[in-house]
């Protein structure tokens, strides 16, 4: 028997969208002015999540609450957490040149005061699908001991997560025969040429990929014990890279370290759903078509934007 506590859903919505050039998390892409996030919230509530925690920036608070938050506050308990550059452990000083946020690991760390139960983490600007939320909620509800580092991630097939309009970065995963995560390797500049898939390394050299690899799209399941590990590792990150302008403290790297050090087990869950999102502005039309089709198929109500 797992816990009767409903899991929380932590949504990372503070990102800048550097390649996109705007606030992807507030882009209305579905019929009736729905955002991608509205689809995720609908799926999450149906899957049995009991609380939503939005991680946002103060400068988008009013717009975010107007476009997304207010619609859902009457349907499920909602909390807001602010991720700001100055939120660092005591004793650390930030370079005045730094403008970029600290990354996904930092986003989760600043939310620790809002979460006491097993929780999922997703990006605000990705479409994950109903099945993805269902398998993740089932895992989290089945956790017997929230004090143990029994984590999970929903894995997607690499070739189903690419953009036709440019390269992408993905965490490529290696699994054990039992379905547990062995390694996450962040691959930058992944693309395809015809039916061939590849990535470029830091020196610009091309390496081939099969396209069938399991990748992380930042859809994770955690217990609250993660927060202490994040705190320790964020301090170590700041000591080493805190004065750099663009280095980021990323959650796939933290998970990879925990697995490597045998401090956590991560079950790789599979979803049949197709991920999609807007990495580039040119992706928008395709995403709109897919969302319209899903509504026409009666998989979602047409009033998610209202």
Q: Band of the pLDDT at 2, cuts 50, 70, 90? A: low
Q: What would the mean pLDDT of 191-220 be, rounded to a whole number?
A: 94
Q: 46 versus 244: which is more confidently predicted?
A: 46
Residue whose structure tokens are 């301090």:
235
pLDDT of residue 124: 92
pLDDT of residue 97: 85
Name which of 22-31, 252-261, 267-276 the model is least confident about: 22-31
Give every CB contact of residue 27 below 8 A, 6+ residues apart in sequence: 35, 36, 125, 278, 284
pLDDT of residue 272: 81
Q: At what angle do helices 251-260 and 226-241 cross, to 10 degrees?
A: 110
> Quick check: 143 pLDDT over 90?
yes
> Quick check: 18 pLDDT over 80?
no
> Quick check: 137 pLDDT over 80?
yes
289 three-class SS: helix
Express each pLDDT in 273-291 by its tens digit: 889 988 888 889 999 999 9
Q: What would the mean pLDDT of 226-248 be, rounded to a whole number?
A: 93
> Quick check: 27 pLDDT over 90?
no
pLDDT of residue 1: 41
Rounded percentage of the chain residues whose pLDDT exceeds 90? 70
> Quick check: 16 pLDDT over 60?
no
Residue 138 bridge partners (DSSP): none
Q: 278 versus 3: which is more confidently predicted?
A: 278
Name which of 15-19, 143-147, 172-176, 282-286 the model is least confident about: 15-19
User: Residue 116 phi/psi, 5° resolution?
Assistant: -125, -5
Give every CB contact of residue 51 below 8 A, 6+ residues apart in sequence: 6, 8, 9, 76, 77, 78, 79, 117
User: Residue 249 phi/psi, 5° resolution?
Assistant: -95, 100
> Quick check: 19 pLDDT over 50?
no
Q: Sign (positive/negative) of CA torsion 109, 114, 118, 119?
A: negative
Q: What is the mean pLDDT of the chain?
A: 91
pLDDT of residue 94: 85
Q: Band of the pLDDT at 26, cuts 50, 70, 90? A: confident
CA 15 to chain CA centroid, nearest Å: 11
Q: What would the mean pLDDT of 11-21 be, rounded to a whole number?
A: 64
Express each pLDDT in 83-106 by its tens digit: 999 899 998 988 888 888 899 999
């Amino acid at each position: 028997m797992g816990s009767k506590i409903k899991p929380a859903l932590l949504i990372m919505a503070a990102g800048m969208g550097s390649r996109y050039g705007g606030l992807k998390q507030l882009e209305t892409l579905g019929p009736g002015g729905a955002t991608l996030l509205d689809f995720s919230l609908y799926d999450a509530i149906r899957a049995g999540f009991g609380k939503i925690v939005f991680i946002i920036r103060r400068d988008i608070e009013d717009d975010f609450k107007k476009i997304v938050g207010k619609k859902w506050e009457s349907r499920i308990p909602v909390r807001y957490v602010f991720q700001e550059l100055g939120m660092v452990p005591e004793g650390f000083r930030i370079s005045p040149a730094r403008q970029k946020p600290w990354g996904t690991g930092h986003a989760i760390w600043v939310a620790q005061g809002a979460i006491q139960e097993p929780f999922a983490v997703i990006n605000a600007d990705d479409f994950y699908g109903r099945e993805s939320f269902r398998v993740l909620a089932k895992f989290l509800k089945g956790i017997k001991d929230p004090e143990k580092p029994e984590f999970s991630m929903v894995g997607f097939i690499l070739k189903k997560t690419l953009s036709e309009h440019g390269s992408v970065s993905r965490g490529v995963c290696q699994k054990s025969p039992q379905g547990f995560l062995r390694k996450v390797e962040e691959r930058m500049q992944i693309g395809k040429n015809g039916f061939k898939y590849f990535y470029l390394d830091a020196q610009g050299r091309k390496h081939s990929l099969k396209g069938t690899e399991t990748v992380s799209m930042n859809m994770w399941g955690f217990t609250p014990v993660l927060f202490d590990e994040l705190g320790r590792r964020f301090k170590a990150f700041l000591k080493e890279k805190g004065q750099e302008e663009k280095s980021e403290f990323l959650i796939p790297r933290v998970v990879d370290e925990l697995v490597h050090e045998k401090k956590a087990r991560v079950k790789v869950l599979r979803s049949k759903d197709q991920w999609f999102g807007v990495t580039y502005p040119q992706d928008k039309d395709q995403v709109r078509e897919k969302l319209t089709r899903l509504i026409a198929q009666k998989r979602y109500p047409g009033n998610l934007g209202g």
